[in-house]
Amino acid sequence: MLKIFNTMTREKEEFKPIIPNEVHMYVCGPTVYNYIHIGNARSIVAFDTVRRYLEFLGYKVKFVSNFTDVDDKMIKEANREGITVPEVADRFIKAFYEDIDAINVQRATINPRATDNIPEIIDFIKDLVAKDYAYESQGDVFYRARKFKHYGELSDQNIDQLVEGASEHVGDAEFAKKQDPIDFALWKKAKPGEIKWDSPWGEGRPGWHIECSVMSTKYLGDTFDIHGGGQDLEFPHHENEIAQSEAKTGQKFVNYWMHNGFVTVENNEKMSKSLGNFVTVHDLVKKTDPQVLRFFLSSTHYRRPLEYSQSNLQKAADNLNKIKTAYNNLKFRLDGATDDDDADIKAQVIKIETDFKTAMNDDFNVQNGLTEIFNLVSLANNYAASETVAEIPANVILKAMVDLTSILGVKLDDQKDLSDEIQKMVDERDQARADKDFATSDKLRDQLKDMGVILEDTPQGTRWHIND
């Protein structure tokens, strides 16, 4: 039984989807004015891992994640470069896909763009105005937060705390237009020269919070199963999404709220664009194996802080290498394996898979899940070192390794084509040595070394693995 920690109730709850065997899930996507940094990637990877595990359990997952393609940052970037807001969006959406593909994140079922949903956003706001949950003020439209009786529940704040928090913004231009300091913008009047759309309140553009309420309910229904995002989005963004959506539909918006922890750098400082201490995925994948980066991001529990450092990246590389080496060594033994079966090996694999599920069913506890993956690695290593290897149990181990590690986004089969090529070179080297043609065997050894291949001569023949 899968349990998920629900931010709303602050408890681990049994997961029951609305539609049996199907999960409707929404994750707040990026504002596309720059390359994504490791903090963004952590959230993307965390929810990709959640999705992969749900699919492993047999659920069909409808996964929606938006692109915020109009806001102050987008306008600023377009002005800085002297191009249009849609041009900025197109460029960084393309880069976003390149980056997530590199770290093996599955594409969302739908990636809606805010600017493709302006009529729906206007209709949603009109509805809130009609219900007196929103009001127009000097061309802006604000949400009457105090009127929504559950306001503050997600972030566990009462009205006094919210008012005190809002008082920090007393000098903002928007502040004077609000009837109440805790109200927030649904529609923003366009400043001269800014990108704009016509609306019943004059020319302007949507606020950030409203787009998620509109696009999530449009594609997933008034009530859906899981809503995810970074923990910095709990307040105000998700609080506001709830207020908007529930005021409009009269239904519960989301059954399970999930929030991932921050990425920290040295001294526990949060990585963020505003602090200027961020590393983009675009830059990092040029010097770090993207698979290592993916494994680093997915191998810490999603709610815990993740410390970004060279030594932690190296640890991830070493662990990933152990998994890949065990996999490749056992695969190597398939050549010449017997037709026997081995009930004991199969039973051990089933136990490991069961324990892995128990770990992951506890709010996606990947740390304990990894312990089971390393039990599988030990089993693979021991079996690969045994005198005779049988094909059926070896394949059972190999398949379990692929299945469990793929939930963390690892592609063990990725080296297939390269494997064939390397194996051919290794065989040629063996033949050259047997023929005492040491010039050829040395040349092949050096070529393999340049490819990062480590050779190991064993009684069963030459084994190899790739040194990451």
> What is d(CA 468, CA 463) in angstroms, rounded to the nearest whole number?
16
Residues annotated within a binding site for ATP: 273
What is the torsional sign of CA 100, 236, 232, 255?
negative
- From candidates 2, 23, 28, 366, binder to Zn ion by CB under 5 A: 28
Q: How far is the CB of 347 from Zn ion (least distance, A)?
A: 46
Residues 339-398 close enough to bind Zn ion by CB under 5 A: none
Partners of 13 in the β-ladder: 4
Q: Where are the beta strands (DSSP E) in 274-321?
A: 306-307
Closer of 28 and 281 to Zn ion (Cβ): 28
Contacts of 361 (CB under 8 A, 6+ apart): 1, 2, 3
How do beta strands 22-27 and 60-65 pair? Answer: parallel
Select 212 or 349, whichever has its Cβ closest to Zn ion.
212
Shorter beta-carbon distance to Zn ion: residue 27 or 444: 27
Helix 343-361 and helix 391-407, axial crossing angle in degrees, nearest 10: 10
Size of the site for Zn ion (CB under 5 A): 2
Q: Give binding residues for Zn(2+) as ranges.
A: 28, 212, 237, 241
Shortest CA distance to 384 belongs to which of 311, 270, 448, 464? Answer: 464
Check whether the bond before 200 is cis (ω within 30° of 0).
no
Beta strand pairing status for 263-265 and 269-270? antiparallel
Q: Identify the CA nearest to 4 among candidates 251, 261, 226, 305.
A: 226
Amino acid at 132: D
Residue 273 or 357 having the CB closest to Zn ion: 273
CB of 21 to Zn ion, least distance (A): 26
Strands 3-6 and 11-14: antiparallel
Could you tell me if 69 and 32 are in contact, meaning their C-beta atoms sit under 8 angstroms apart? yes
70 binds Zn ion (CB under 5 A): no
**Of the ranges 23-31, 110-118, 361-369, 388-396, which one interacts with Zn ion (CB under 5 A)?**
23-31
Closer of 258 and 377 to Zn ion (Cβ): 258
What amino acid is encoded at 229 in this protein? G
Query: Binding segment for Zn ion among 6-14, 27-35, 71-79, 137-145 (CB under 5 A)?
Result: 27-35
Shortest approach of Zn ion to residue 125 CB, angstroms? 16
CB of 210 to Zn ion, least distance (A): 10
Rounded to an integer, what distance in angstroms lies between the CA atom of residue 435 and that of residue 432? Answer: 5
Considering beta carbons, is residue 259 or 301 the nearer one to Zn ion? Answer: 259
d(CA 87, CA 213) in angstroms, rounded, equals 25
Measured from the CB atom, the residue of 239 and 363 that comes closer to Zn ion is 239
**Angle made by CA atoms 413, 292, 355, in degrees to the nearest 5:** 70
What whole-number distance in Å separates Cα of residue 59 and Cα of residue 51?
9
Q: Which is nearer to Zn ion, 104 or 213 (CB)?
A: 213
Q: Which residues are annotated as a binding site?
A: 28, 212, 237, 241, 273
CB of 207 to Zn ion, least distance (A): 11
For 201, counting Cβ atoms within 10 Å of its Cβ (0-12 exposed, 13-18 middle, 19+ buried), the class is: buried
Shortest CB 3 distance to Zn ion, Å: 25
Q: How far is the CB of 36 from Zn ion (least distance, A)?
A: 15
Nearer to Zn ion, 72 or 283 (CB): 72
In whole angstroms, how close is the CB of 153 to Zn ion at the nearest point? Answer: 17
State how beta strands 461-466 and 453-458 pair. antiparallel
Q: Which DSSP symbol is given to 106?
A: P
Q: Give me the 198-217 binding string for Zn ion, x by CB under 5 A, dash otherwise.
A: --------------x-----
The alpha carbon dihedral of 28, 34, 36, 38 has a sign of negative
Shortest Cβ distance from residue 72 to Zn ion (Å)? 16
Q: Which residues bind Zn ion (CB under 5 A)?
A: 28, 212
